[in-house]
């Protein structure tokens, strides 16, 4: 919705008009609108949204439309549908808008929420929900558990209408197919909205009781605190992603030769992790490991990384230090956890011929064994100026050939299964201007066969994984390589 299309504007205005029509009956003379309750609820919702606009609070306050759905659902339970729709309008208009265009998003929000609340209140009233809330005095106790039925029905309608409106605006603004726009939207929101409905029911019962509106605020307070905690978690997660992104961009600037490689290794690592049945939290950390596996290149002199010619033994030793440099760079980043070991050990081999410590078998951390396979796979399937990328099946067969000596067979099998399920969209990658052709006869060079070199050589290709190859004698079993004599 950054650039609003004409169809999207028409849809937004139509929903806003629908909101006006929903709320209009409450303004008619003789409508019997309970203005005191309406004003208190509308004021509460407005107050809940205002801190997001106040510089005093900064960005630490987790307020936005949607943060206080329990309050809106309480309004749907306590008020007639037109009055309930009015409650949502002031807060929707003043709430914080984080993405442009602000005007369109504000109008959209002030239209969709009143319509949604009106629909939820109508469902609640249809099932006799207001009578089930009880009232002040011992003779008007809430009708439990029946009151749960209209409350849950209202929350379900709330979720359905909100999902339908949100999916439709994506169709109008982004021209997405209906099925794709609505895919997964309702399942993701239904559970939280049912919880919001129960909190709104508690608030409505207390509001109608002899304790009055003040007691109902005790329901709103824990909801606000939970919302704050949830927002803090997301802010922390966003800070993590920003840290990762900054490090990857720094590597890409320094070594343009493999730009985009890190993200693809992260993606391939996730494919493997999913097939291994790892927990969601570990999969996220493993993705970070794949993305940051080459961050140690920041410690390697640029003249060595971009050298057009054979590496000296000393330069080769410098490049082979990049896993240790990477580990030092990320050692203080606590949220990386197991990813730090993967960054340090992703060039170890099962047979002990890897670096930096020559670990063998299961002594190599699990994350490092995953990243090693993902790293080699992307290097083989990525297109370079000196060779086309290998087809995915060919790359997988080469990984299988070296399983047990260089790679963990379990990780290779997991990658093969993941590719069968999901395919590979990262095989065709862009070529950078400083890449030059590579000799044939080195595994991963594009044709897999021996033969004379074609064109000039870049002997220090960052695709070479064979730590034992000398600049003059590449190992034909190294995986995958671009040219001899250059460890990744």
Q: Which residues, 6 or more positions from 424, have their beta carbon under 8 angstroms from its beta carbon?
A: 268, 381, 392
Q: What stretches of 127-212 show up as alpha helix (H) in DSSP?
A: 129-132, 148-174, 178-182, 185-208
pLDDT attached to residue 377: 94
Separation of alpha carbons 63 and 18, rounded Å: 25
Q: How far is CA 168 from the centre of its chain?
A: 22
pLDDT attached to residue 224: 67
Q: How far is CA 394 from the centre of its chain?
A: 31
pLDDT attached to residue 386: 61
CA atoms within 13 A on the CB side of 254: 19
Instruction: Write the CATH number of the domain with boundaries 255-422.
Output: 1.10.3210.10
pLDDT attached to residue 283: 93
Residues of the chain with CATH 1.10.3210.10: 255-422
pLDDT attached to residue 241: 80
DSSP character at residue 53: G
Separation of alpha carbons 282 and 285, rounded Å: 5
List, run by run, the mean pLDDT of 10-residue segments along the chain (488 residues).
70 93 92 91 85 45 56 93 94 79 86 94 93 78 90 94 90 79 81 87 88 79 69 76 84 76 92 92 91 90 81 89 92 86 94 93 95 93 77 94 95 94 64 30 30 31 34 35 41
Q: Which two tokens stand for residue 193?
A: 């909205």
The CA angle 312-459-465, to the nearest 5 degrees, is 90
Closest CA to 296 of 305, 286, 287, 307: 305
pLDDT attached to residue 188: 82
Q: How far is CA 465 from the centre of its chain?
A: 31
Separation of alpha carbons 254 and 300, rounded Å: 9
Beta bridge partners of 453: 439
Separation of alpha carbons 41 and 117, rounded Å: 13
The owner of tokens 């003059």 is 472
Say how many C-beta atoms besides its own lie within 10 A of residue 210's C-beta. Answer: 12
pLDDT attached to residue 342: 94
Closest CA to 69 of 111, 117, 106, 15: 117
Separation of alpha carbons 202 and 195, rounded Å: 11
Q: Which residues, 6 or more positions from 469, have their beta carbon under 8 angstroms from its beta carbon?
A: 475, 478, 484, 485
What phi-psi label fits residue 182: left (phi over 0), alpha (psi between -120 and 50 degrees) or beta?
alpha
With contact defined as beta carbons under 8 Å apart, do 370 and 342 qualify?
yes
């Amino acid at each position: 919705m950054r650039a609003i299309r004409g169809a999207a504007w028409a849809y937004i205005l139509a929903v806003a008009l629908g909101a006006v029509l929903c709320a209009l009956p409450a303004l008619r003379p003789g409508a019997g609108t309970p203005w005191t309750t309406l004003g208190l609820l509308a004021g509460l919702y407005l107050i809940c949204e205002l801190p997001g606009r106040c510089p005093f609070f900064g960005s630490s306050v987790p307020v936005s439309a949607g943060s206080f759905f329990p309050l809106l659902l309480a309004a749907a339970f306590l008020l007639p549908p037109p009055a309930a729709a009015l409650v949502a309008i002031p807060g929707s208009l003043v709430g914080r808008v984080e993405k442009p265009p602000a005007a369109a998003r504000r109008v959209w929000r002030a239209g969709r929420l009143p319509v949604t609340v009106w629909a939820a209140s109508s469902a609640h009233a249809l099932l006799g929900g207001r009578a089930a809330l009880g009232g002040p005095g011992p003779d008007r106790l809430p009708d439990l558990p029946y009151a749960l039925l209209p409350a849950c029905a209202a929350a379900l309608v709330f979720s359905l209408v909100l999902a339908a409106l949100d999916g439709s605006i994506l169709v109008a603004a982004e021209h997405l197919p209906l099925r794709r726009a609505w895919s997964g939207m309702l399942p993701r929101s239904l559970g939280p909205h049912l919880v919001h409905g129960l909190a709104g029911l508690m608030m409505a019962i207390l509001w109608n009781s002899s304790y009055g509106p003040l007691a109902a605020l005790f329901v709103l307070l824990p909801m606000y605190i939970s919302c704050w905690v949830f927002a803090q978690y997301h802010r922390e997660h966003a800070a993590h992603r920003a840290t990762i992104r900054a490090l990857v961009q720094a590597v890409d600037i320094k070594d343009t030769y493999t730009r985009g490689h890190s993200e693809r290794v992260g993606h391939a690592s996730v494919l493997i992790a999913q097939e291994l049945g790892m927990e969601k939290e570990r999969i996220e950390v493993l993705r970070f490991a794949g993305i940051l596996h080459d961050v140690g290149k920041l410690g390697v002199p640029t003249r060595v990384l971009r050298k057009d010619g054979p590496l000296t033994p000393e330069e080769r030793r410098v490049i082979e230090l990049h896993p240790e440099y990477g580990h030092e760079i990320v050692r203080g980043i606590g949220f990386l956890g197991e990813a730090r070991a993967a960054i340090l050990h992703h060039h170890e081999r099962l047979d002990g011929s890897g670096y930096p410590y020559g670990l063998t078998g299961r002594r190599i951390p699990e994350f490092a064994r995953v990243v090693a396979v993902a790293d080699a796979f992307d290097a083989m399937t990525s297109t370079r100026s000196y060779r086309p990328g290998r087809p995915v099946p060919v790359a997988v067969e080469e990984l299988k050939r070296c399983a047990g000596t260089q790679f963990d067979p379990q990780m290779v099998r997991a990658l093969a299964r993941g590719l069968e399920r999901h395919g590979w969209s990262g095989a065709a990658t862009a070529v950078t201007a400083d890449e030059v052709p590579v000799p044939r006869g080195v595994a991963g060079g594009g044709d897999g066969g021996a033969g004379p070199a074609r064109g000039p050589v870049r002997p220090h290709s960052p695709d070479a994984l064979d730590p034992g190859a000398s600049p003059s004698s590449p190992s034909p079993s190294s995986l995958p390589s671009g040219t001899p004599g250059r460890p990744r």
